[in-house]
Amino acid sequence: MRHFLALLSLSYLGAAFCVWWLSGYVPWFLLPDFPFLAIVFAGLFVPGISGFLCVLPPAVFREITASAPSWSMFLGSLALYFATREVGRRLFLRTEPHLLSVVVSLLLAESLSIVLLLHLAGVRPFTLLWGAQEAVRIAWTSLVGVPLFLDLASRWRRVQE
Amino acid sequence: MGSFFRKWWRLLAAVALLFAAIQVYVRPSPALERAEPVRAAGTALFRPFYLAVDFLHQGVSGIWTHYIALVGVTRENERLRREVAALQEKLHENRDAQLENRRLKELLRYSESLERRTVGARVVGHAISPWFQAIFVGTGSEAGVMAGMSVVTPHGAVGRVHQARAGLSEILLVTDGRFAADVMVERSRVRAIAEGIGGNFCRLKYVSPVHDVAVGDRIVFSGFDGSMPKGVLLGTVVSVDRPKESLFQKVKVQCAVNFQDVEDVLVVLSRPSIPFREGRE
């Protein structure tokens, strides 16, 4: 329940503040993707069915706040969760560099797959400048994500102890 | 076989969901329409926040102007500064009201010139996504807004309604890669298809090298495809490239509207003559 509430508030407040900041304050590439981080955290640190339940609100928030075709972002987010679970079970080591590489790889994989999908659908709005901005977004989200994950994980461990 | 599935079921689930997401993207399923109320309820969660944006903005600037900016000055200066600040605030408020008044008058005049029924809407938020470009307006289905309706300002086109819900509508911007509409060059009447390419730009497709398009030409919607009102300005041509090996010219258009700054828009309340499926591109 604690995890559920923590990730629910992280993703809701994160998404809501991003919506606010984006309204003329901060460019999109400087806004960390908080719902994405909540999904990855649930995949890496929250075991079992509770992890899956924790993922549902951030996945819905991503579906609402990204203007993608209906339900594609939600299903994509669930796919991201299961991929993260697999990474967490087989590859993940609890050190900062590994955590950073996992978050960067997942962000990169998601971004590339959407770009590829849009490209195959005939949509080509992506320029070199967009690529650079997306790289900044990925780097920034990962840098925010790692300390956040470590902090949340250690707090959770303390609560359990 | 069983042990293989037990071992790798998460990865298989991820792959299956990814395929489902791609399938939904490429060919939306009518079965998912039943789940739309869930999506609508989810949107309602964010609606208060979208609507609170202006309120919070005004509140924060008010705290800054009235308290923080005055800390650390002498009493005399404080009194004078307060007076000046109050006068400036009043002036600023008046100027804001005047500007808003001018903007609304301009919208009203433009709305009359459109000769179609329109409804004014205030921009309350921007979609968070590096891949898709959209804004949210605080007017929805209760005002007759429906998916596919065009959204304009006196300065030019903004986009099309992507989804309309109670009190909130999502507008797909003309710069989104999924936006396409029939346009023409105002000067030479050359027709083309405009497609969003992100940033504040669109490109014109299928412009033959023999056609007359030059930098600085104004591009307007032709209205032939029924998706946008005829004569509405899309933007100005900023570059024309005629590659020798290509069948078509590469024409880049800068949109007339700056989507980061737009505050009020008009939704043209007439259904597009081409059927538009809500929430799908």
Beta bridge partners of B235: B219, B255
Q: Look at residue B185 in the predicted model and tell me its pLDDT.
A: 92
Cα–Cα distance measured from residue B203 to residue B250, given in angstroms and rounded to the nearest whole number: 7
ipTM: 0.71
Closest chain B residue to A133, measured at CA? B130
Q: Is there a single domain that holds both residue B86 and residue B133? A: no
Q: Is residue B209 part of a domain?
A: yes
B18 pLDDT higher than 60: yes
Chain A contact set for B198 (CB, 8 A): 125-127, 130
Identify the closest residue of chain A to B29 by CA–CA distance: A70
A90 class by beta-carbon count within 10 Å (0-12 exposed, 13-18 middle, 19+ buried): exposed
Same domain, B73 and B181: no
pLDDT confidence band for B280 (50 / 70 / 90)? very low
Residue A158's Cβ-count burial label (10 Å; 0-12, 13-18, 19+) is: exposed
Alpha helices in A28-161 (DSSP H): 34-45, 48-65, 72-90, 96-120, 128-160
pTM above 0.80, yes or no: no
Structure-model confidence comparison of residues B221 and B41, the more confident one: B221
Instruction: Identify the pLDDT of residue B219.
Output: 93
Please indicate, yes or no, whether residues B187 and B235 belong to a single structural domain of this protein: yes
In a domain, B280, yes or no: no
How does residue B51 score in pLDDT terms, banded at 50, 70 and 90? low
SS (H, E, C) B116-154: CCEEEEEEEEECCCCCCCEEEECCCHHHCCCCCCEEEEC
Best residue in A21, A52, A67 for a mutation probing chain B (most B CBs within 10 Å):
A67
- Both B83 and B126 in one domain: the answer is no
Count CA within 13 A, CB hemisphere, residue A36.
28
For A123, the closest chain B residue by CA position comes to B177
Total domains present in chain B: 3
Tell me: the pLDDT tens digits for A44-69?
888 888 888 888 888 888 887 777 77
Partners of A80 on chain B (C-beta within 8 Å) are 14
Identity of the residue in A29, A64, A83 whose CB atom sits nearest the CB atom of B46: A64
Q: Is residue B40 part of a domain?
A: no
Q: Is B126 in Cβ contact with A16 (below 8 Å)?
A: no
Q: What is the DSSP letter of B220?
A: E
Residues B24 and B123 in one domain: no
Boundary of a domain, candidates B70, B96, B113: B113
Q: DSSP characters for B180-202? A: EEEEEETTT--EEEEEE-STTEE
CA atoms within 13 A on the CB side of A144: 18
Residue B41 lies in a domain: no
| CB-side neighbour CA atoms (13 Å) of B163 | 25
- Residue B281 with chain A: CB contacts under 8 Å: 69
Shared domain for B81 and B129, answered yes or no, is no
Residues B142 and B162 in one domain: yes
CA–CA–CA angle B91, B94, B100 (5° rounding): 140
CATH code, domain carrying B151:
2.40.10.340
Residue A42's pLDDT is what? 86
- Same domain flag for B189 and B227: yes
How far is B217 from B236, CA to CA, in rounded Å? 6
- Average pLDDT score, chain B: 79
Q: Are residues B246 and B138 part of one domain?
A: yes
pLDDT at residue number B6: 75
Verify whether the Cβ–Cβ distance B261 to A117 is below 8 Å: no
Q: Which residues of A touch B238 (CB under 8 A)?
A: none
B203 shares a domain with B133: yes
Q: Give the closest residue to A45 by CA, choosing from A83, A94, A91, A9.
A: A94
Task: Tell me how far CA of residue A156 lies from CA of A61, A99, A151, in angstroms.
Answer: 24, 17, 9
Per-residue pLDDT of A98-156, as tens digits, reads 888 888 998 898 888 888 888 777 776 677 888 888 888 888 888 888 888 888 888 77
Whether residue B203 is contained in a domain is answered as yes
Range of the domain at B11: 2-34
**Domain-ending residue, one of B91, B113, B135:** B113
User: Are B129 and B209 in a shared domain?
Assistant: yes
Contacts of B175 in chain A (CB under 8 A): 125
Nearest to A11 by CA among A50, A81, A61: A61
Chain B residues in contact with A76 (beta carbon < 8 A): 17-18, 21
Task: Select from A81, A125, A129 the Cβ nearest to the Cβ of B177.
Answer: A125
High-pLDDT (> 90) share of chain A, %? 0
Residues B150, B204: one domain? Answer: yes
Farthest-apart Cα atoms in chain B, separation: 85
pLDDT digits (tens, 9 = 90+) for A18-37: 666 666 567 777 778 888 88
User: Among A16, A22, A114, whose Cβ lies nearest the Cβ of B46?
Assistant: A16
pLDDT band at B216 (very low <50, low <70, confident <90, very high): very high
